[in-house]
Amino acid sequence: MTDIHFIVEESPEGGYAARAVGQDIYTEADTLPELHAMVRDAVRCHFDAGQAPSLIRLHITREEVLAA
């Protein structure tokens, strides 16, 4: 595996939640820089030594509601 993808969403309570696509990895943080560190740590903990992907891709979604 060369890369792993995460779907990142803003939490209604504030902060961010990230879920890996195709793997059972989930983490959350208050800011994007904190989320970057948490995702890296979660990936390191999930995979055995030498099996972790070399790239982590974050797909960040954000919902906005506008009055018509």
* Number of structural domains found in the chain: 1
Give every CB contact of residue 16 below 8 A, 6+ residues apart in sequence: 8, 9, 10, 28, 29, 30, 31, 32, 35, 60
Among 55, 68, 66, 62, smallest CA distance to 1 is for 55
Domain annotation covers residue 68: no
What is the domain-level CATH number for residue 30?
3.30.2390
Domain annotation covers residue 27: yes
Structural domain including 27 reads: 3-61
Domain annotation covers residue 66: no
Stronger pLDDT, 50 or 4, i.e. the higher one: 4
Domain annotation covers residue 67: no
Domain annotation covers residue 15: yes
Give the bridge partners for 20, in sequence order. 6
Each residue's pLDDT tens digit, 7-62: 999 988 899 999 999 999 999 999 999 999 999 999 999 999 889 999 999 999 88
Domain annotation covers residue 33: yes
